[in-house]
Chain A
């Protein structure tokens, strides 16, 4: 299947209410899933992992399919994403130290930020351990459900 065609399909799934789409064409089957576990069903001469958001780890090593939006990253980079709609705070108060900075090592379970909704301050913990490579949201900005907040290098 043409790469452009796959990109188109990923976009189609992303923009729709469809959770999962499976297509077979001349012995090649492609399945795009928003709920994780995306993979290409055998048989197929050239398996192509395709991922809609959020990006789960590909089951089979393969050339990057690079779909629009959530491009596959290095295997070691994992997101810590927001579990809720709210306001993102990097510290407990404007005068206190940030919970984490780029380059810091975090352990699974460490508090990395606060998300506030309706004056409930929710401490958010790292779902994975590793080195913080990027903080993808500015302090005190609104965030959506599932929005990546931190990129963590789990091999770092």
Chain B
């Protein structure tokens, strides 16, 4: 095991953590506004590539376009990873899908469950959503500070990058005691879906290792090496979907993914399109 600089807070057992650089500095917190917010604050102070924030409760968890991610105590696991890639945001975009695949594989490894992925990066179990992922890229001036990498834990990419990324994951581990709010009828927890108890610390350790390996492969080879594994889990394959592209909404048949992680759909006029930025809903469902 490598030395990791862990600030404990949330009672997570991270003794299994053995990633090389992911989690080289890790802040384990009980309650935060959102782990993405905490990761950005830390990034502005010079946090290194691979710095990780973990929490078990968020007061302002957020999803796409500021949507609220409900994160009550005892229900979830919230984790944000700071990455400082050399490549710009358009090249890094498919990494969003890669993170989802790593989450799916970690759930599978711990439970044997069959996990689905909904493009671009929702993780589904038992026909419902168990994890959401949100990546944010910003141009920030990394402050020169004394919270750089520890000796011997120099990150593999430069400390300062034009467009650092925070990759945030919200995972439903256990269902709320009084059930899911009505608005979350599509939500499910790992324990609900699998009937197993999940060790959150073990989950974090395994996930960080997977994301680290996936990142190192992605920055050299792109999305291609992940395409088949992703597609095998895609719940949209050959499904009827409602596509939102700005104001334009249309029904289509979802097909496959390309080497860049784009989703191919065929609309009712037989026109095929590769989607990069649309929202896609399974017909009759909202997510």
Contacts and interface: CB of A to CB of B under 8 A. Distances in A.
B124 to A, nearest CB: 15
A125 interface: yes
Interface residues of B, number: 32
Nearest to A123: B138
Contacts of A8: none
Contact of B137 (A87, A93, A123, A138): A123
Given A83-B89, A121-B134, A96 B247 contact: no
Question: B93, B97, B138 — which one has the most chain A CB atoms within 10 A of its CB?
Answer: B93
A117 B64 contact: no
Interface string B87-103: 01110111111000000
Interface residues of A, number: 27
Nearest to A139: B246
Contacts of A138: 246-247
Contact of A142 (B93, B135, B246): B246
A84 B93 contact: yes
Given A119-B134, A121-B136, A140-B247, A85 B90 contact: yes
B277 A116 contact: yes
A29 interface: no
Interface string A122-150: 11010000000000001011100100000
Given A140-B247, A142-B245, A122 B66 contact: no
A109 interface: yes
Interface in A83-123: 83-87, 89, 92-96, 109, 111, 116-123
A119 B168 CA distance: 11
Contacts of B48: none
Contact of A84 (B90, B97, B165, B245): B90
Question: A94, A96, A116, A118 — which one has the most chain B CB atoms within 10 A of its CB?
Answer: A118
A87 B135 CA distance: 15
A123 to B, nearest CB: 5
A92 B66 CA distance: 6
Question: A94, A116, A121, A125 — which one has the most chain B CB atoms within 10 A of its CB?
Answer: A121
B120 interface: yes
Contact of B66 (A86, A95, A140): A95
Interface in B136-173: 136-139, 163, 165
Contact of B96 (A94, A96, A109, A120): A120
B220 interface: no
Contacts of A145: 90
A84 B97 CA distance: 17
A93 B261 CA distance: 25
B93 to A, nearest CB: 4
Contacts of B261: 118
Interface of B: 62, 64-67, 88-90, 92-97, 120-121, 133-139, 163, 165, 245-247, 261, 276-278
9 contacts: A89-B65, A93-B66, A94-B66, A111-B138, A117-B276, A118-B94, A122-B89, A141-B246, A142-B277
Interface of A: 83-87, 89, 92-96, 109, 111, 116-123, 125, 138, 140-142, 145
Given A85-B276, A122-B163, A141-B247, 17 more contacts: A83-B90, A85-B90, A94-B65, A116-B277, A118-B93, A118-B97, A118-B276, A119-B96, A119-B135, A120-B93, A120-B135, A120-B165, A121-B65, A121-B134, A123-B138, A142-B246, A142-B278
